[in-house]
Amino acid sequence: MSRDAQRAVVAGGGIVGTWHALELVRAGFSVDHLEADAAPAGASVRNFGLVWVSGRRSGEELDVALRARRRWEEVGAEVPGLGFRPSGSLTVACSAAEREVMQSFARHPDAGVRSVSFLEPDEVRACNPALGGDIAGALHCSRDAVVEPRLALGALREHLATRAAPGRYRFHPGCRVVAAEAHALIDTAGTPWDGDLVVVATGAAYDHLPGSEGLGARLRRVRLQMLETAPFAPRLTTALADADTLRYYPAYEVVPLELLGEQSTVAADHHLQLLVVQRPDGGLTIGDTHAYGEPFDFALSEDPTGELLARARRTLGAELPPVRRRWEGVYAQCADGGVCLREEIRPGVFIVTGPGGRGMTCAPAIAADTLKVAGVVS
Site for ligand FAD, rule CB under 6 A: 11-17, 34-37, 40, 42-44, 46-50, 52, 176-177, 201-205, 208, 224, 226, 288, 329-331, 353, 355-361
Nearer to ligand FAD, 16 or 101 (CB): 16
CB of 239 to ligand FAD, least distance (A): 9
Nearer to ligand FAD, 95 or 248 (CB): 248
Whose CA is closest to 203, among 75, 78, 60, 17? 17
CB of 258 to ligand FAD, least distance (A): 27
- For residues 51 and 72, give the distance between their C-alpha atoms in angstroms, rounded to a whole number: 8
Contact between residue 147 and residue 80 where contact means Cβ atoms under 8 Å apart: no
Nearer to ligand FAD, 100 or 343 (CB): 343
Nearer to ligand FAD, 126 or 373 (CB): 373
Whose CA is closest to 140, among 130, 151, 126, 154? 126
N residues, the chain: 378
For 252, phi and psi rounded to 5 degrees? -90, 10
Nearer to ligand FAD, 138 or 177 (CB): 177
Nearer to ligand FAD, 100 or 158 (CB): 158
CB of 148 to ligand FAD, least distance (A): 11
Rounding to the nearest 10 degrees, give the CA dihedral for residues 357, 271, 305, 53.
-30
CB of 17 to ligand FAD, least distance (A): 5
CB of 308 to ligand FAD, least distance (A): 12
CB of 103 to ligand FAD, least distance (A): 25
Nearer to ligand FAD, 21 or 124 (CB): 21
Q: Is 108 left (phi over 0), alpha (psi -120 to 50) or beta?
A: beta
CB of 328 to ligand FAD, least distance (A): 7
CA 324 to chain centre: 22
- For residues 133 and 195, give the distance between their C-alpha atoms in angstroms, rounded to a whole number: 55
Nearer to ligand FAD, 46 or 159 (CB): 46
Residue nearest to ligand FAD according to CB distances in the complex: 359
CB of 334 to ligand FAD, least distance (A): 11
Nearer to ligand FAD, 150 or 208 (CB): 208
CB of 18 to ligand FAD, least distance (A): 7
